[in-house]
Amino acid sequence: MQKIYAKAAPQAHRYMIEEYHRYLNPTMYRGTKWKKLVPPGVIETDFSYEYPNYFDYVSRGPIYYAIISSVKNYGSATFYIETAETADGEWLDGSKNYELVIPANVPVKDFWAVTTYDLDTAAYQRDIAKSSIDSSEKDLIKNEDGSITIYFGPKAPEGKESNWLSTVEGRKFFLLFRFYGPTKHTYDGSWKLDNVKLVK
């Protein structure tokens, strides 16, 4: 029996990662890999997925891989989206370099933040200097149009250290983009994030 469990556990883990990041959550922006943090049913059942006439364990497993507690005031005080892939469906790889352009005028009343997480554990990456950047940081470098480019990779691009988040070589990762104090334009499609792009 232990051999069966030992074989099944990694398979279940891979299934939950694939299901959560690629299939379960609704797409936030058409034509991109950005997904809403949680699928339908989470808020209604308070993360239990227990309905009057059935128990949706297929959805609850992947959700519990990614989220260990409910998000207080999700959708009113805060709103999160996530991505784990490039436009062509490749997992984000900590050994490679990427960039994300955040357009100007992010629809928030307070601030925004982007954070890296380890894909396997859904926890913070280990042994890195910094896992998150937010719009309150005074040293962020803005582009001429007001947008901000965030860089991800094992080494900072020269002169862009303030806009860089380090990644762990040999480990895959994903991103959460947080809207603190979201507005109606967070949801109506008038503002959107593009895909994370591989820098060659």
- Per DSSP, the chain holds a count of helices (H) and strands (E) of 3, 9
Domains by residue range for the chain, with CATH = 2-199 (2.60.120.600)
Q: pLDDT per residue over 116-173, tens digit each?
A: 999 999 999 988 989 999 999 999 999 999 999 999 999 999 999 999 999 999 999 9
Quote the radius of gyration of the chain (alpha carbons, Å): 18
Calpha distance 99→38 (Å, rounded): 24
What pLDDT does 73 receive?
A: 55
Calpha distance 29→13 (Å, rounded): 27
What pLDDT does 70 receive?
A: 58
What pLDDT does 28 receive?
A: 96
What pLDDT does 74 receive?
A: 62
* Eight-class DSSP state of 13: H
Q: Which amino acid is at 36?
A: K
Residue ranges in the chain whose pLDDT is less than 70: 68-76
Calpha distance 200→189 (Å, rounded): 30
What pLDDT does 114 receive?
A: 98
If you count them, how many residues does the chain have? 200
What pLDDT does 49 receive?
A: 81
Which residue stretches of the chain are H helix? Answer: 2-18, 57-66, 184-187
